[in-house]
Structure 1
Amino acid sequence: MAFFLETLIGGLMAGMLYSLVALGFVLIYKASGVFNFAQGAMVLFAALAMARFAEWIPLWTGITHPVVANGLAFIAAGGVMFAVAWLIERLVLRHLVNQEGATLLMATLGITYFLEGLGQSIFGSDVYKIDIGMPKDPIFALESMFQGGILINKEDVIAAAIAAALVAALSVFFQKTATGRALRAVADDHQAAQSIGIPLNRIWVIVWCVAGVVALVAGMIWGSKLGVQFSLATVALRALPVVILGGLTSVPGAIIGGLIIGVGEKLSEVYLGPFVGGGIEIWFAYVLALVFLLFRPQGLFGEKIIDRV
């Protein structure tokens, strides 16, 4: 029982991190109706900015206190992501209003390769580390209930708590604020939203800025765990099944989908892996996503598409 709970908790914590990356896809889709393939590149670019600013700020300012230096690096990286979001809206999206979804999709693919190349040119292509002070030593919990207790990684707990707090804040933002309701209106119909006075360009800037902050937090956490390297962009691919499972337009769906994928990967690898030779954790999420595409393509919480003739 203790081993099962240990695996379950590990899966839930991994699922929260998947949810955090998936949120970037959901945010952009809710505002523009396009699947943003640039989200992985945004995570990588934000992580590179965070890592490099954390190195440069002590050299530029003489500030060596790690908390202050990391805080300034986070603010600087956030400013960079805001600038990236503004430029994307100004130079790309503004000229593609009311275009076909395929056109917007190709635009995000172009943004992906541009950000990857720009990140390498500005910040370098080495492997960098992000040290934000999260403890990496494991702890033993529930020792009174189970012999030896349950092994839990402190870093995973803190990372999951940060992800959960950000997800909760974004859920409230979308459901309770006027800007959040405007974002949903823009997603439903660009022309109708414009006709009632919703400034489409400003809404797109806001949502790309929010997605940039989400990418920064995701990049900071994943960079702290795995190191900042160009393979970090592929982390976003692990979030694709989460979006398919939860639904492209649902923030709660991104949360639930991430938790299901995270737990499913860990449990299947531990309990089914020995019978099939292992490696289930790599493809489990994609097979589950394929099943949903066949039988429920809108996901658990997505909106059904009803065509009336």
Structure 2
Amino acid sequence: MKILKTVQKIPGGLMVVPLFLGAIINLLFPEILDVGGMTTATFKTGASSFIGASLMCVGSQITINRVGEPLKRGFVLLAAKFLAGFLPTLLVSQLFGAAGVLGITPLMLLAAVTNSNGGMYLGLMTQFGDENDLGAQSLLGINDGPFLTLIGMGLAGLASFDYMALLGSVGTLLVGILLGNIDKDIREFLKPGILFTLPFLAFCLGTGLNLKNIVTGGLTGIFLGILVVALTGLFTISADKLILRRPGYAGAALCTTAGNAVATPAILAEAAPNLAGQVEAATAAVATAVIVTAILCPIVTSFIAKRFGCPGAQRLPDK
């Protein structure tokens, strides 16, 4: 059976197929994933471990004299992703107030757009990008959570920057950079691990998705998810192409809403009690956007990669 080749013919298949398998199993047979031991660790709770292992393999491919490139890419894309959420939120807030328009509130927009799924980005860059795209996650990891959202809501004075959390998110990358520069044999040994960890990472991310949220969030959540992809792509793909002079696939890979963004409306409401009445609706809509963007992002990224080229072109199926 040609399972691998069949999967690779699907846009972002190495990411999408395991992701959906995990989501479907979590919906239909969730108890299978809770048996404990190595089974649960490998197929449900291991996403962070697989991301860490992948980042270490990525770091091993970055030589010291090229470390500036991933940081540059990460900074530009991070700023573009933030602006993609902040500027539309500001516009909607000024024109329509806290109630928003067409069911989309400023709270929903900012919570859903200003952060991205780091695991999804890492997985897609494993398939389409190079070591510099992967290394950019060291900065992009900042938006995988409510930090930038809090800044965007004007609550910077109520939120503290957790430097230890940032160090923890890039620690394995730094270890990989160190090992890869000390010994080129280690660099070669770790290189295959970048791709090997991808399906496991994707499956674990899938088991964290609840497909029932599409029903709960309804049309508003679906619309919000489409907005996330459209707004993010407008800013990040443009920044990738115009500022970084790159094909744009890395910017496309940020067209997601991170899973932990589901908790962001409640976090924001704690800091701004006037938003408390919007938390329930915003939470349902953001949860739906997480799933919608997880579906659309690999498709958009694959299209951009095939249309404008990418370092992983040799791994793409023929058109």
Fold shared per TM-score above 0.5: no
Greater RCO, 1 or 2 (C-alpha within 8 Å, sep 6+): 1
**Which TM-score tier does this pair reach, normalised by the shorter chain?**
under 0.3
